[in-house]
A and B are shown apart, each in its own frame.
Chain A
């Protein structure tokens, strides 16, 4: 039996097949149970060394990756841009090659430049996992969003999912658009025109200018974080006005004939893009997203660790 391989790296969902995405989601299922055990650890990646290379601030994603790695028994090292040789002007490739010279197996990278993960993956032999690169992609976030939607609704195909807010600058939105459309969801976006990417309709995505329209249409709202620095750059007039026009509030959701699943990739600006009563409400799956994040990352690490092409022919030994 040959498993559909993922290849060496996970840099984005754009070039993945629906089968590869489903393989990751299906593999994540049994990993959820590992985190519920009294001893939250399995030896699957024992002896593998993984470097978490974070050139941007991150708590949730970094901790989630680190838990995933540790629960698979890998050895992990965290490298942050500040306080490392990066602040002395070393290039990305030199940093990674030096790490490789210490015999590592995988690199999880977050970087402010779009394409950084792929760039690195093409230049080092270790597996590379993109933990967010500029405005490009954040594939594991989209995968955990997909898993959470599938858990809640039992399917992804045919569901109406609307991404709300700063779609223009969001790598989470980009990865979600790829993943959702590959798995057959209907996708829409909603937000101020200044934060909508030009020509997005051409991808078959519906665009709503008013949050009320989006709420009437959607089964799922994935509310993106409004990056506060956008206000200073003039994309929106004020946070208060944004909340008044686009904030997801209980009053607005009440108008919908059906309950709408509420998602948010975090960190939330309560009272800006999302009202606290919605974030903590009965249809919010925001904390399920966080729980699923660990399982999805375990699945990705596990599949990449064993899925190297040069090992494929060793599979002839069979399963017993």
Chain B
């Protein structure tokens, strides 16, 4: 087994600043919070969406409660036949009808774009949002589909053999992002 090299690209404070900035950018992009819905992609996207929603609520003051949902895209994957089933299917929960809302998909890492493609298909089955935006903590390049993020916490160049390891306090006990080569 070859030795792995783990390089930290975000520590807890940098991640906190990135999320803070992403929260501000989301409100700018949506021209306020009126129609905003945050949709986290299982697993870590859900935690990040929750955090960003709280940050927006803090910065915008009391009356702005941001609806948030969770999306598991397992059943919309295009590779069931090649990778086999993923038995651990997470919860999907969409807060109300998405028609005429501004839905912001939140995920931890953007890579090939296939997860986002599946998420777009799945969201379309819950209504017709007036706009869907994409917000990711880490954009690692390597797209296989014509998909781009609207809001990015941190961009990093990686190769196909690399892994991006996102840890969040709620699930992993700490906030940290590493690239493993």
Contact = CB atoms under 8 A, between A and B. Distances in A.
Interface of A: 3, 23, 26-27, 29-31, 33-34, 37-39, 41-45, 72, 302-303, 305-307, 311-312, 314-315, 317-320
B147 to A, nearest CB: 14
Interface string B108-120: 0101100100000
A39 to B, nearest CB: 4
B95 interface: no
Contact of B84 (A41, A72, A312, A320): A312
B86 A43 contact: no
A234 B88 CA distance: 50
Interface stretch (B1-9, B15-23, B48-56, B75-83): B75-83
Interface in B97-141: 97, 109, 111-112, 115, 121-122, 125-127
A30 B90 contact: yes
Q: Is the interface of B mostly helix, strand, loop or mixed?
A: loop
Contact of A303 (B87, B92, B97): B87
A33 B72 CA distance: 11
Q: Give the interface size class of chain B.
A: 20 to 34
B75 A317 contact: no
Given A23-B87, A312-B84, 11 more contacts: A3-B86, A26-B87, A27-B87, A29-B89, A30-B72, A37-B126, A42-B76, A42-B122, A43-B121, A44-B75, A318-B83
Contact of A307 (B84, B115, B125): B84
A3 B90 contact: no
A37 B125 contact: yes
A38 B84 contact: no
Contacts of A306: 80-81, 83-85
Contacts of B93: 33
Contacts, number: 77
A305 B79 CA distance: 12
B60 interface: no
B86 A319 contact: yes
Nearest to A30: B89
B82 A314 contact: yes
A43 B81 contact: no
Interface in B13-54: none
B11 interface: no
Nearest to A23: B87
A27 B47 CA distance: 22
B126 A27 contact: no
A301 to B, nearest CB: 10
B97 to A, nearest CB: 7
B85 A302 contact: yes
Contact of A3 (B75, B84, B109, B112): B84
